[in-house]
Each structure stands twice: as structure tokens, then as C-alpha cells.
Structure 1
């Protein structure tokens, strides 16, 4: 028993925030043990979810017996009778118990249970005078005596930091939070279902490696002691998936934990879930079709509609999505025809119109920047916020990626697209570069930038280069941020709301 911990000073040695409410709960815990009751039994089998009982009430007999288990969320004692409400994963059900039903000895246990405890109840179903479906208790089993009270019933946890620090309490008090993580799981299952039906092969790629590549990002570093070697945490699985294509897997995908040691905001987080796939003998047009159909499939599977209301705006992910050229968007929003004009004229136009002042404050030097960097800066500053409905922004400047094919109609561009909705980037895709000599040149340029001090540049990956030298088929590649997909699917406006246990400061 825990009699020592009914003295609050002793309890504070192991629970610094202990109070008199917790002490009283421990006293009840001791009374249960004194009566020979294990308040933490090993199992409680043959449980029926509350939603099944409620949905099938009209087809069950009043003599059919059910066993339910869940957390007490409401308890009202009325002398010889008590009403409870318990919550399981599927929903809530009311419980009625009377002394005459379960006997004096069992009924006396009601005094030793509290809101927050987990119990098992066996009984028959009926409707109260107010037409509420209710389980009449015939037997009670205490499954877990809680020694800490739940947050205040009507307000729950309001502080965002506390909600993320104590996510389990957040889920107990806010059912939509629990449902968000259930729907996240359903969405990933639907994604796998969609890809597997199209004969893609799922693989696992390394989280730890002696090199990193596939994305311009600052990596996390750690050390493998047994090898006395510094390693990096996965930035992107891209290069490994392409090596598998070289090896003969023509349709491949992974759902990978990825890590980038950069900023945190509403859509960025250092640890995230990345879906990437590669498909031989297709280009970026085919990957657009794949992505829009994948989104439509997942949203219909989980929400039974392709439409969502996100931050008060209705967005429809039904295929097909709009296609917009990046240079056209920049011209329409700034009046500068960046596709036709040379860099010097673009710089003069930016100065004349007073554009990109914010970007310059953040370190962009419009004189030293390349034409491609200026185009992307103008796009980010003046176009992104207007991309509300799902849109593929296509045909990026040539220097925006070393892993993409040159555009077949314009050598200053590459066949790359990024999908956007509500001004949020959802992914990235290419007609994949498979010219091995050009690939080596571009990877060496990236490595030189890294040596020159650009922390987000990638080192040379010789194993990948050797694989491409061997011959990789023409292919389309696609990466999707799963967390951002789930934000739209569940209506969450911050990426931390779709990550079960985000980092919080100690």
C-alpha cells in the first residue's frame, strides 16, 4: 500500500506538484487495496465499444449483456443510485447503477471511484425517460485508479504549451484532438492503399548516414560510437530511392521520418514525415496527375468528401488542380516579365517598383543574386498568398535544383513543380535528371557551396553518382509533406497540432 504518500510532504518527494486532492485519491487507492481489490488489474476482455451499442440499440434485446470499458468523465451520486458517463475510443455512454442492482458491497465501491478513473462495466441496455441510451450496471471492475485529477471540465487545457506538453490530457478533454490523430493514421493507411494499388513498392531508407543529400537543408549530426564516426540524420530519402530505381524497382515509395535543423513556424518543424515516390518512364506531368488523384482519394477515404473548410475558407482537393507557370504568376503580380527580361532589367524594375524590401532585410542581395533567385524571391513575396485553391506552380528557374531536368521548351527553366493550397506549399516534384555527367557537375557545384560555407548545401554523394553512372531510367519524382496534408485534412492551422508529441522546452 501507499500509506506513506498520504502525507503530502512525503508525496512531494516523488511528485513535486502534489496537492491535497491527489492525497485524497491516494487514500481511496489504499482503501481499495485494503479490501483486497487490485486497482490495476491485468486485463478486461470481451469489451464492446460504446458506439456499437448506441448504433445498434434498436436491434439488441433488453436482456443482452455487454461489457464496456472507459474513463469516467461524469459522476453523480444520489444515495442509493448513481449516474456515470464513461468515454472510450469510439465515444461516450451513460451508466446507471443502483444498490439494489449490484448489492451493498459492490455499490460501496462507488464511493472510492472518481472522475478520471478507468472502469469496466457489465450490464444490459435501456433508455431513460429522457431517451438516453444507458447501460444498467450489473458488475463493476476498477481498471486503473487515477491519482491525478483531470483538467477542469468545461475549460480543459487552454494553454498551447501545456496542451502539447501533456498531449494525453489534451486528448482526454478535447475529443477533436484525439480524432485528429486517428484520422492521421487513417490518411496514411489510405495513402499506402492508393500507392499499392498502383503497384508501387514501399521501402525503408536510412535515418542515419555518413552523408546527406536530396534537399537543401541544414542537417542534424550525431555520432555512432562503435564506428567512431559522425553521422547525419536523414534530410530526404530521395537519393536512396533513385538508387533503388537504378537497381530495377520501377515504382518505389517511402514514408520517412526526416530531420532538418532549421526554423519552427506554423508549417515548418525540425522533425517531420515525408512521403516520396519515384516512377520510371514518366515525367512531371504524370506526377501532377498522381498527386492530385492521391489527395482526392485520401480526403474522400477519411472525410468522405474532397472539400474542407480551412481557417474559414472552403478548399476543394478534387482533381484536376490548376496549373500555373511561376514566371506567369510573377508577371501578373508584379508587372515584370521575368521569363523574357535579362537579370539587369529585372533588377532595375525591382528597384523602380520598390519591390523585395522584406527579402533584402532578410539578407537577399538583389545585385549578387542570380536571375533564378530573384524570380523565386518575387514569387514567394507576391504570389504565394493568393494560391488558395490547390494549384501546381510549374516550371522553376534552372538554378533552383541540381536534381531536375532542363525544361524541354526553355533552357532557362527546369521541369519542376510545387503544389500549393491556402498559400502553403504541399510538396515538390521533378522530371528527374538522369544525365549522369550533368548530375556530377551539379552535385560538385553543391559540394563547392558547402565548402564555401553554405550550411544548407549538400556534400558530394559518390555512391549515388556511381549508381546514376550505371544508368537510371527517365522518371518522375514526387515529395509530399504528410504533416501539411494532415493539417488540411483535419483543419489544423499549425503543424504542431498534427504532431502528437512536438518538442517543448524543458
Structure 2
């Protein structure tokens, strides 16, 4: 049913009826010896390339062969104007009965919105100045059996956008642009890292111990070894083994898995880049990430002023603010916060509206204040430095104060985008911290041998050079550069709650 026919129907036909009609049509085509689901079609150009190459002053109109999805059609007697869309954009088609002949013209009229077709024709400008392909031949490549979302508004149900991303990409140009920018961001990150002399490596996603971060892992069972295994929560401990082995500058763009909640900022399966540089420290990593983000933003967006809507502009111009964790807590919770005893901090935290208790370790009380009251206020790029040692067991202590470690967290738009460390390479101190962390988080039935990676400690005992290391949340970085406000908007197929 074409658009002009559908306009005369008093009540819209439901999707089941449309599916039945289109399925019947596909069977009719097959019975007539035609191919409703086509085969190879050699098209010469993407639509956007056709636009760029068109020269209205050329002596002969350029002939093109393109393919894409039929998105709209306007029947005007013996001629039809239609819209064809491919991965690069959209172009108008002009179809004339005089050019195609009665049979082919009738076949074009029977096409449905959503059908994938191949077009051969020549380009021209209409009197209104719109670049158009004058169709000489049309080939049906794939019959669309189900209707697309309403053409003027696209897919507007947010949950459906995530569950049926293919429809979102077909109908929502803004969504398609975000993912095109995501892939461009990844490409530019790799170029930047390689130009800086880093080597891209690969480490195991299936690991016998869940290490390198403090997170709840996904657990599975390896039948061939009759052993429990874990999907990695971080690649850190394996990348540090490579530093021990003599690779001095390494990075990995990897998928990590954490068996935790789903939110605007969290997906249980996510993309991260981890970076390690021998003979560097956390300041090496600060300089690196500052240059990386500004370089990539300029390459992909052409600006360091990123609009996040509602008047919020992220200014990525360097240098970025550097401030200590202690200074931020004192600004928000009172200049005397670190002079209070444990009970005083709990009482002050409650006054500030934070859910804390006397049973919590003292560092957790302070960190609750930081996470609930401070982190989400750090909109412009901010390096938060010198974190409590209990929060980062894999980092070196600061030389002037062993209660804090030589690390940073890069906060942008109220989200942690990248933590970086001066890496701990003392195997004796590393073992002590692992044991202390095990005792602090121990659950009934836990065994130390199941929680502490002895092979990693053995590697450290062979000598790891001093190093700077950093993790970059790629999904969050893409959110920041593209202006997206939810992680689901930058992950092609985000995890969704199961339908009952």
C-alpha cells in the first residue's frame, strides 16, 4: 500500500495486517521468478560521496549506482518523488513512467516504505535546487515485511530505541550520528596512542581470579578444566605483567564485565582503555589524558566547547584544574572535617544528608561525602588527586603522607572518566595491601588463595619498573564528547531488564 492509498484509508491498518500483506507480496514476487530478498548489488558510491562529487557545471550529468532504504514516496501521476537513505545520508529520487516503462513504474509503485533497493540513474538539480537522482533502473534487494516507525517522528519510545536499536538507527539521525562519532572517537584514540609510541595488546577476558578492581564479577564454569572462572572486571594485573616482561608502553581497548546495577552511568558490560607507561607516574598520565581528550574532541567535533543542553557547556581547553581530594572535602563538609573524630564525622555527614553510620570505616564515611555531595558537582574537567590509600590498593603512597596515594580521578560533567596512578611496584607492600583488603572485605567461606593473585605477586617479585597507569571509561568519554546524557545512548545494545 503506497502513501497515497494509505491516506484514503479511514482507519490505520494494524501491524499484523501490514505484515500479512507484505509477506503475501513477497511470495507473489518469488512465484513470478523475481527475488524479493535479492542478491549482490555493486553500487559505486555512498550518497554523501555523490553529493560531494556533484558538479552542476559538468558537461554530462554524472551517472551513479546507489543502494539504500526507501524512506518516503510521493506519487504524482506519471512521476514519483521518493527518498532513499543509506549509511551516509539521504537523497531524493525522481521516477518517471516515461523512463522506466509501464511495468517497471508499476513495480516501483508497489514498493513499500522500508524496502531496500538499488538505484541506477543520473544526478541533477531540481528547480528548487535539491540534488536528485533521475532513476533509470530500480532493483528490489530486500523486502521489508514490517512497517517502520511513523515517518515524521521516527522512533520516540526511549525503551524501544534501546531494545530495537536497528529501528532507532534507521529513523533517528541524531542517534546514528552519535554512533558514527563513537567509532570516530575510537579510531582517533588508537591513532593518538600509536603516535605516542604505545603498543596495543590483548589480555584474557576469562580469568581464574577477578582482579584489578573492586567489583562484583560475573562467574562461569570452564568444563574442560572443571574450574570456576570469571569474566574480567579489569585487565590491570595482566598489563602489569607485560611491564615486567619488558614492554614499556602498552594499552588495551577492552570489554569489561561487572555484575552490578544498571543506571544512566553504568552498564554491566562496558568498554575501557587501560594504559601503562614504564618510568612514568600519575602526572605522566594526567598530561597524556589531557592531550588525548582535547586532540580527539577537536578531530571528531571540531571544538573544545561541548554543548550538553540546558545551557551547560563543557570547556575542554587546557590546562585543567588540579585539586586534592582533601581540599574538596574540606570545601564541602567544613574546614575542620579532618580534625573531627570518627563520631564527629558521622554526625556531620548526617547533617549534610549523607547516609553514614558508626559501623562504617572512617575512610568510607569521608568517601560517602565525596561521592554523594562533591563528585557530581565537578562539571568542568577536574583532576582530583591524593586519594585515601584504602580506596586504591594498587597505587604508590605519596612520599610525604602514606595515608594517601599518588593518584588522580579525572571528573568531567560530574562523572569519573579516568583514574590514573603512580603504580605500586613494591611486591612486599602489594602483598600487605592485598591481605589487608581481603581481611576487610572477607565473607564467610572466603579463602585467601581464591582472592589474591599469587602469579601477579610473583611477577612483581621479578621486578616491575616504576610506571604510570590509567583507565579510561570509553563509554563515558563518548558521552562527554558527543553530548549524550545516558550511557545507553552511546552503547549500541545496552543491557535491558528482561521482559516478563
Unaligned segments of structure 1, at least 5 residues:
1-16
Q: Output the CA distance in 2 between the equivalents of 1:292 and 1:167.
A: 33
Residues 44, 494 of structure 1: CA spacing in aligned structure 2 closer, same or farther, 3 A cutoff?
Answer: same
Cα deviation, residue 102, structure 1: 1.5
Alignment partner for residue 417 of structure 1, among 404, 408, 412? Answer: 408
The answer to whether the 8 Å contact 1:254/1:275 transfers is: yes
Unaligned segments of structure 2, at least 5 residues:
1-13
Residues 334, 421 of structure 1: CA spacing in aligned structure 2 closer, same or farther, 3 A cutoff?
Answer: same
Cα deviation, residue 460, structure 1: 0.3
Q: Output the CA distance in 1 between the equivalents of 2:405 and 2:426.
A: 14
The one-character-per-residue Cα deviations of 1:289-319 (angstroms, maximum 9, x if unpaired) are: 0011111111111111122111431002233
Cα deviation, residue 246, structure 1: 0.3
**Counterpart residue number, 1:27:** 24
The answer to whether the 8 Å contact 1:246/1:473 transfers is: yes
The answer to whether the 8 Å contact 1:47/1:69 transfers is: no
Number of matched pairs = 481
Cα deviation, residue 88, structure 1: 0.8
Alignment partner for residue 344 of structure 2, among 332, 344, 348? Answer: 348
**Counterpart residue number, 2:190:** 192
**Counterpart residue number, 1:13:** none
Taking structure 2 as the reference length, what is the TM-score of the superposition? 0.92
* SS of match in other structure, 1:25: helix
**Counterpart residue number, 2:119:** 121
Alignment partner for residue 474 of structure 1, among 444, 466, 472? Answer: 466
Does structure 1 residue 54 correspond to structure 2 residue 51?
Answer: yes
The one-character-per-residue Cα deviations of 1:45-76 (angstroms, maximum 9, x if unpaired) are: 13311112222322544432111111011111
The answer to whether the 8 Å contact 2:333/2:348 transfers is: no
The answer to whether the 8 Å contact 2:69/2:85 transfers is: yes
Cα deviation, residue 18, structure 1: 6.0
**Counterpart residue number, 1:319:** 318
Alignment partner for residue 147 of structure 1, among 145, 148, 153? Answer: 145
Alignment partner for residue 433 of structure 2, among 431, 442, 448? Answer: 442
Q: Output the CA distance in 1 between the equivalents of 2:376 and 2:414.
A: 4
The answer to whether the 8 Å contact 1:292/1:318 transfers is: no
Taking structure 1 as the reference length, what is the TM-score of the superposition? 0.91
Q: Output the CA distance in 1 between the equivalents of 2:349 and 2:177.
A: 48
Alignment partner for residue 266 of structure 1, among 264, 267, 288? Answer: 264
Cα deviation, residue 32, structure 1: 2.3
* SS of match in other structure, 1:433: coil
Q: Output the CA distance in 2 between the equivalents of 1:153 and 1:119.
A: 18
**Counterpart residue number, 1:158:** 156
Superposition pairs for residues 34-49 of structure 1, below 5 Å? 34-49=31-46
* SS of match in other structure, 1:105: helix
The answer to whether the 8 Å contact 1:202/1:253 transfers is: yes
The answer to whether the 8 Å contact 1:156/1:170 transfers is: yes
* SS of match in other structure, 1:148: coil
Alignment partner for residue 491 of structure 1, among 483, 486, 490? Answer: 483
Does structure 1 residue 131 correspond to structure 2 residue 129?
Answer: yes
Residues 353, 107 of structure 1: CA spacing in aligned structure 2 closer, same or farther, 3 A cutoff?
Answer: closer
* SS of match in other structure, 1:249: coil
* SS of match in other structure, 1:27: helix
Q: Output the CA distance in 1 between the equivalents of 2:193 and 2:270.
A: 20
Q: Output the CA distance in 2 between the equivalents of 1:356 and 1:415.
A: 28
Cα deviation, residue 440, structure 1: 0.8
**Counterpart residue number, 2:364:** 373
Does structure 1 residue 206 correspond to structure 2 residue 198?
Answer: no
Superposition pairs for residues 43-442 of structure 1, below 5 Å? 43-58=40-55, 60-312=58-310, 313-339=312-338, 341=339, 344=341, 347-351=343-347, 354-355=350-351, 357-360=353-356, 365=357, 367-442=358-433
Cα RMSD of the aligned pairs, angstroms, is 1.9
Cα deviation, residue 173, structure 1: 0.8
More displaced 10-residue stretch of structure 1: 367-376 or 408-417: 367-376
* SS of match in other structure, 1:299: helix
Residues 400, 352 of structure 1: CA spacing in aligned structure 2 closer, same or farther, 3 A cutoff?
Answer: closer
* SS of match in other structure, 2:80: strand
Cα deviation, residue 378, structure 1: 1.9
Q: Output the CA distance in 2 between the equivalents of 1:386 and 1:454.
A: 40
